[in-house]
Amino acid sequence: MAPSNLILSFILLAFTAAAQDPNASPWQIAFNTTTSIGPDGPWWFITQAVDFPDQKLSVFPSLSETSIIMSSGACSALNADCALPIQAEWTPSDSWKSNNGSQKQSEPLDPTKWDDRVSSLLGLDGTGYYAFSRMTLYSNGNTGSLAYLDRHGLFVSDSMRAMYPGGAAYTLNVGLLSLYGAKELASWTGVNGSQFEANLTLNSAYISLYIPSKSFGLHVGSVAANIGGSLILGGYDSSRCLTEPITSDSTTFKLFDISLNVTRGISAFVNTDKSTISGLLQTSGDQAIGLEIQPEPGVPYLYLPKETCDAIASHLPVTYSEELNLYLWDTKAPEYPEIISSPHYLVFSFSSGADGTDTSNINVPFALLNLTLESPLQSKPTPYFPCSPWTSTETVPYHLGRAFLQAAFLSQNSHTNMMFLAQAPGPDHSAQNVKKITTTDTAIKSASNPPDWESTWTGTLKALTSSNSSNSDSGAANGTGTSSGNGGTETDTSDTTNPESKSGLSTKAICGIATAAVVGLGGGAFALWYFALRKRHQQSQHSRLLQPQELPPSPPGYASPAVWGRKGDGSPMTSELAGMPDGSTQHRYEVDSEYSDKGPNELDAKSRPAELASNSRAAAVELA
């Protein structure tokens, strides 16, 4: 390293140690939710400003060590495998050129020199180069609050492509915004032979006093379920953290099991009569005893052992595609629309607790695992299940990508080397509640009085009943369905005597119906007897009122009424009194009876039904 650059590094490190603003607020990065991109999504994305004047490029958040963008020409009209989104490519500006940007960039490098882990998962080939440029962070898309990150290091893709086993490919068309905070600087050798060091996103925002810590909180959200994404630098949105976070002092978590579950209604899973199936985390045909697995929003799939993907797929109407190393949904199977529209989900069980012996679950509805392959990967839109068989290595372990993070909350504090994972909500989530992460935080809190996870999905996922499920007729859940592990079909008749078989009425169901019928008939007979008896009693009472009644003796001087009762039409009847012995005339007395029926009184009831400051700083330094 040149002496001048060494001195600069010491200055930057000293400035980093002093540059801590406890009053800095978390910085919210807006997701673009007006349109989505693929070709293996749909996914929400971030519109990130690069260079000066701003060039707004499409990027995904990532834990890659350095941000990556696409150069102009990477997706040219001559590239048949380029799915170009809006504002994808960077064209060097006059400012960049005047700062000798091309002399400071590196020689062409293969993708592993950028990030071996992410490039391996994406199957990248081609070349790119390191370069300086300005990056500008907009606070929640508001142009009034800007964070200028100068002398920022980027990796620029010239011709990098994502490759698939069968030859399908697409030119990398969306950049990655690095949330990596463990390193402070990127370094490379320029084309002129000089050594260069450049700032990285989180560290640069932190030492520039824009954010309180090198940390973030992320929920990528879902296009299909209309869940907007959330990215906060220096903090997190606690409304996206429903459960007590699972913690790790590294970048990986220990995954103990994967299971299938149905929370409401009947099951549409195939090749089983159960609504809960566990033990699906497998390697080499055996149940795995914990796998180290890393969350990564910069890659799309669930990168799991082939045995695990096959075990899950064996209960779904899917077929494995060797060419794509993915599982394609059988859209003609009756179980397909049932599974993706009702509360069927994958359960990921992670090690948790101080000693790691407890487990915490994160649920991912199959509604979020019904993604679409588009051109150039497929000639027409093709729904797929995003489990991509992967062989773990020391440098590239198993991963859970964007498909998983649609339903999970991810956070990291690089100062304390702590990472947090929790259940994220569905479409009916609470209002935003941004919390700060300080440099010393080793834990974060979940939402206060959070809603039950299932309640955030009840408006979207409808339970299957016997009247709207194919399993009430087809018997698919008894084993007549697509065997997903090998792409063939199997017919299993071993469940025909199962009392809970879904191919017809079970013994329990028949007993329940019979019991209900007996209770219903008995109740009906009792009601008929009761009303008949009541009517007879009322008629008897009415008849008695129409007959002369024997009254108690009259007071002295009075005669007894001739009749005391009511006429046949129900009107009061007058009692006629006889004359007194002395011949005097006495008053007549009318026997009257009134009935007052009081109707119900209705009670009136009345009920009554309550954003983030951002700092605006601008300190433009050297662009390139």
DSSP state of 297: T
- pLDDT band of 293, cuts 50, 70, 90: very high
Evaluate whether residue 531 is within a structural domain. no
Identity of residue 155: F
Q: Which of 519, 541, 561 is the last residue of a domain?
A: 519
88-97, 239-248, 364-373: least confident range = 88-97
pLDDT in tens, 300-315: 999 999 999 999 999 9
CA 11 – CA 66 distance, rounded (Å): 22
pLDDT tens digits along 495-533: 333 333 333 444 444 444 444 444 454 555 544 544 454
In a domain, 622, yes or no: no
Residue 260 and residue 175 in one domain = no
Question: Who wins on pLDDT, 570 or 339?
Answer: 339
For 226-239, what is each residue's pLDDT tens digit?
A: 999 999 999 999 99
Question: Which residues partner with 319 through β-bridges?
Answer: 328
Do 180 and 328 share a structural domain? no
Are residues 160 and 288 both part of a single domain? no
Residues 53, 119 share a domain: yes
Judgement on whether residues 178 and 263 belong to the same structural domain of the protein: no
Same-domain check for residues 249 and 201 = no
What is the C-alpha separation between 8 and 199, in angstroms, rounded?
12
HEC profile for 128-196? EEEEEEEEEEEECCEEEEEEEEEEEEEEEECCCEEECCCCCEEECCCEEEECCCCCCEEEEEECCCCEE
Residue range of the domain that includes 48: 1-212
pLDDT value of residue 353? 72
Tell me, what CATH number does 185's domain have?
2.40.70
Q: pLDDT confidence of 173, banded at 50, 70, 90?
A: confident
Spatial neighbors of 595 by CB under 8 A, at least 6 apart, are none
Residue finishing a domain among 195, 212, 229: 212
* Confidence at residue 489, expressed as pLDDT on a 0 to 100 scale: 34
Task: Give tens-digit pLDDT for 109-159.
Answer: 999 999 999 999 999 999 999 999 999 999 877 766 899 999 999 999 988
Domain assignment present for residue 63? The answer is yes
Q: How many residues does the chain have?
A: 624
Q: How far apart are CA 136 and CA 192, in angstroms?
A: 27
> What is the pLDDT confidence band of residue 85, given thresholds at 50, 70 and 90?
low
State pLDDT tens for residues 273-288: 999 999 999 988 677 7
Do 361 and 402 belong together in one domain? yes
Helix (H, G, I), strand (E, B) or coil at 537: helix
The span from the CA of 488 to the CA of 493, in Å, is 17
Q: Answer whether 409's CB lies under 8 Å from 241's CB.
A: yes
Give 438-495 pLDDT, tens digit per residue. 999 999 999 999 999 999 999 999 999 976 777 654 433 333 333 333 333 333 333 3
Label residue 289 by pLDDT band (50, 70, 90). confident
The tens digit of pLDDT for each residue in 419-429 reads 999 999 999 99
Q: Residue 84: which pLDDT band, with cuts at 50, 70 and 90?
A: low
Structural tokens at position 99: 């700062």
Distance between CA atoms of 177 and 179, rounded to whole angstroms? 7
Average pLDDT over residues 538-544: 41
- Radius of gyration of the chain measured on its C-alpha atoms: 37
Task: Record the tokens describing residue 208, joined without a space.
Answer: 């520039």
Give the end of a domain, one of 459, 490, 519: 519
pLDDT tens string 552-602: 443 333 333 333 333 444 444 444 444 444 454 444 434 343 333 434 444
Report the pLDDT value the prediction gives residue 475, as an integer from 0 to 100.
38
d(C-alpha 41, C-alpha 369), whole Å? 10
DSSP per-residue string spanning 39-87: SS--EEEEEEEETTTTEEEEEEEE--SSEEEEETTTT-TT-TT----TT
* Number of domains the chain contains: 2
Least-confidence region, from 169-178, 388-397, 587-596 = 587-596
pLDDT tens, residue by residue, 8-36:
444 444 444 445 666 899 999 999 999 99
Q: For position 458, what pLDDT does the model report?
A: 94
Q: How far apart are CA 120 and CA 111, in angstroms?
A: 8
For the domain that residue 481 is a member of, what is the CATH number? Answer: 2.40.70.10
Are 282 and 205 in the same domain?
no
- Indicate the pTM of the whole model: 0.74
- Has residue 561 been placed in a domain? no
Residue 159 is predicted with a pLDDT of 84
* pLDDT for residue 94 is more than 70: yes
Q: Tokens 């008995």 appear where? A: 522
- CA 454, chain centre distance (Å): 10
Give the distance, in angstroms, between the CA of residue 159 and the centroid of all CA atoms in the same chain: 34
